[in-house]
Structure 1
Amino acid sequence: MEVIFKIIRQQQNSAPVVQTYLIEVESGNTILDCLNRIKWEQDGTLAFRKNCRNTICGSCAMRINGRSALACKENVGSELARLQQIPALENKTNSIPEITIAPLGNMPVIKDLVVNMSSFWNNLEAVAPYVSTSARQVPEREFLQTPQERSRLDQTGNCIMCGACYSECNAREVDPNFVGPHALAKAYRMVADSRDSETENRLANYNEGTKGVWGCTRCLYCDSVCPMDVAPLEQITKIKQEILSHKQVSDTRSIRHRKVLIDLVKEGGWIDERQFGLQVVGNYFKDLRGLLSLAPLGLRMIVRGKFPLSFEPSQGTQQVRSLIESVQNDSAEC
């Protein structure tokens, strides 16, 4: 069958242009197969990365019809079938099907589908993605782990550093300080590793501002595009749980926000805004500057009659409390 490939081409520091190529393909041909044919048979100037061709190296990550994926993993048939499920991208009846290829996002383009991944690697380095055993006595042979301890590393160990999650990350797009889901997924591997001796320091680093776990917007795009089922958001959530289990309520506003929200919902079924502001922003009356920052908002609410003078728990408070406690117990067992 014939397929039109629309490739977003771009030179460094120049505007992107769309170039189309018509090729005869089989439904089982991978997107990488098609790009190779375009380069070998029609346009030798087309630039893209590739290596193993077997979903191992992660080199051929790019945006295929709007989502980041591995060109060696996706094939023409499955891609066209996916498009049929998306009305906005569905090809017109009786027309030649089209597949659009673009470079990864959140990274500057060097040429065509090749991007500069310096920020990707620098942010990975920022989380110190290697086991530290400096605080332990070096054994004669090796650090041993039980099968259970090793199994905690399996999921994150599957990451091939392709950059798909980083490309789709909304938090990274709006906050250049956020290290990215790939880095935090690797970070959890270090936190979970029984041989590591820097857990406390790591958690303090990952808890800092919006560059760490609290910068994540929980959009789930990273999980949806990961070709190896690493589930970066799940790993970020695990780090948050570790931070909360190691810290006190009053340590940081981010931690207070999470803990106070849960405690208030457990207590009354929904949030008592009066207590929420005092406990989170005012740090239980310890943060005078935080309390003063609430004053303008409080005055506007009083003037407009929107300040709650009393709090009525919801009718389903007991059910909500039971659900929260059930989730907390399950998390503790994990």
Structure 2
Amino acid sequence: MRVQFKILRQNENSAPYSATYELEVDPGNTILDCLNRIKWEQDGGLAFRKNCRNTICGSCSMRINGRSALACKESVGGEIARLQAIAAMGDSHRDRFANRPAEQKGHENQATAAPEDIPTFHIAPMGNMPVIKDLVVDMRGFWDGLEAVDPYVSTAGRQVPEREFLQTPEERDRLNQTGNCILCGACYSECNAREVNPDFVGPHALAKAYRMVADSRDAQTEARLEDYNQPESGVWACTRCYYCNSVCPMEVAPLDQISKIKQEILDRKDASASRSVRHRKVLVDLVKQGGWIDERRFGLEVVGNSFRDLQGLASLGPLGLRMLVRGKLPLRFEPSEGAGEVRSLIEAVQAIESASTPSRSPQS
């Protein structure tokens, strides 16, 4: 089959440009196979990283049709099927839209362009990292974020004991998912929080951080959780967009690991500890009480720390005044229907989480 590759190329500190290549390929060929052929047969100057070609090393991560993935894992046929599924979903939305009255459609009912006859693959370098050349990016920020969480078993845990350090199968199983991370950078590339906040260490780093929190051999759990409990660089800077889970080729689910660290912090902190902790605790408490959030109390208790943070209270003044003038300040709160059922569900989930929280072995 004939396919087309549009590759975003760039030299360091220069403007990117698109280069187009056509190949005759088999559906089972990987994207990396195709890039190799382009480099060997058409353009020897094309730069990209590769190594194992077997979804182990993570070297060949790049953006393939708009999302970060491993070029050695994605096949031509599989990628075409993915794009067709996305297109079919778009057609379904357009069909539903087409059934709406004409006066509701506005200018959105213009005909869409016909799909290209030749399947086209758009290849670009990973995001959140400066480009060195073509598809090769500078990953120093990625590695710095990982180093910042100290992803090694503590010194005490590394000391050679008189006998081996034993772990139960359950203790070892807690490390399996995060241990699958191959540091490909896909999650970091697509991280919205990192894009707007250069202090955020990244989902890859916090997934590794949870591995240390969960490791029964580590003796620095409390100190680690204090380090990870930072509003700008730690777990609270995550925007919970779920894209890191979506693009991870090894199903590490970085967001899930970040959530586990948050829960460890919440279990140890009261609501006065920080605004980030208060936000989570107050939100849950208010929903338990009324089925949804009493916005009047939410601002006062989270930002104002229940009248203990005078600076926070003062910051609410201008917003509250504007809301009052425009008639948008709720003067009373009505619980939602089924508030009791909502409360029961939350308490049931909390009971399950409490029962499933692993107990760590005491450290010497």
Displacement of 1:211 = 1.1
- Which residue identity is paired with 1:86? I
Q: Aligned partners of 1:250 and 1:194: how far apart in 2?
A: 29
Q: Aligned partners of 1:110 and 1:133: how far apart in 2?
A: 36
Secondary structure class of the residue paired with 1:41: helix
Secondary structure class of the residue paired with 1:86: helix
Secondary structure class of the residue paired with 1:128: coil
The change in CA–CA distance for 1:228 and 1:91 in structure 2 (over 3 A counts) is farther
**Structure 2 counterparts to residues 218-297 of structure 1, below 5 A:** 218-297=240-319
Matched, 1:50 2:50: yes
Partner of residue 77, structure 1 = 77
Q: TM-score, normalised by structure 1?
A: 0.95
Q: Aligned partners of 1:157 and 1:330: how far apart in 2?
A: 25
Q: Aligned partners of 1:105 and 1:292: how far apart in 2?
A: 39
Structure 2 portions without partners, runs of 5+: 92-111, 357-364
The change in CA–CA distance for 1:32 and 1:91 in structure 2 (over 3 A counts) is farther
Displacement of 1:302 = 3.0
Matched, 1:14 2:14: yes
- Which residue identity is paired with 2:72? C
- Which residue identity is paired with 2:314? L
Contact 2:157 2:217 in 1 (8 A): no
The equivalent position to 1:311 in structure 2, one of 333, 336, 355, is: 333
Partner of residue 163, structure 1 = 185
Secondary structure class of the residue paired with 2:210: helix
**Structure 2 counterparts to residues 131-146 of structure 1, below 5 A:** 131-134=153-156, 139-146=161-168
The equivalent position to 2:210 in structure 1, one of 188, 200, 206, is: 188
Give the fraction of aligned pairs with identical amino acids, expressed as a percent. 73
Q: Aligned partners of 1:227 and 1:92: how far apart in 2?
A: 32
- Which residue identity is paired with 1:201? A
Please say which of residues 321-330 and 11-20 is displaced more in the overlay.
321-330
Partner of residue 65, structure 2 = 65
Partner of residue 99, structure 1 = 121
Q: Aligned partners of 1:6 and 1:293: how far apart in 2?
A: 50
The change in CA–CA distance for 1:309 and 1:144 in structure 2 (over 3 A counts) is same
Contact 1:264 1:271 in 2 (8 A): yes
- Which residue identity is paired with 1:306? K
Partner of residue 24, structure 1 = 24
Contact 1:84 1:91 in 2 (8 A): no
Partner of residue 359, structure 2 = none
Displacement of 1:138 = 5.2
Deviations 1:209-261, CA, capped at 9 Å, x for gaps:
12111111111110000000000000010010000001111100000011001
Please say which of residues 40-49 and 116-125 is displaced more in the overlay.
40-49
Displacement of 1:133 = 4.0
Contact 1:133 1:195 in 2 (8 A): no
Please say which of residues 239-248 and 322-331 is displaced more in the overlay.
322-331
- Which residue identity is paired with 1:31? I
Displacement of 1:20 = 0.9
Displacement of 1:91 = 9.9
Q: TM-score, normalised by structure 2?
A: 0.88
- Which residue identity is paired with 1:308? P
Displacement of 1:43 = 1.1
- Which residue identity is paired with 1:14? S
Q: Aligned partners of 2:273 and 2:354: how far apart in 1?
A: 21
Partner of residue 35, structure 2 = 35
Secondary structure class of the residue paired with 1:204: helix
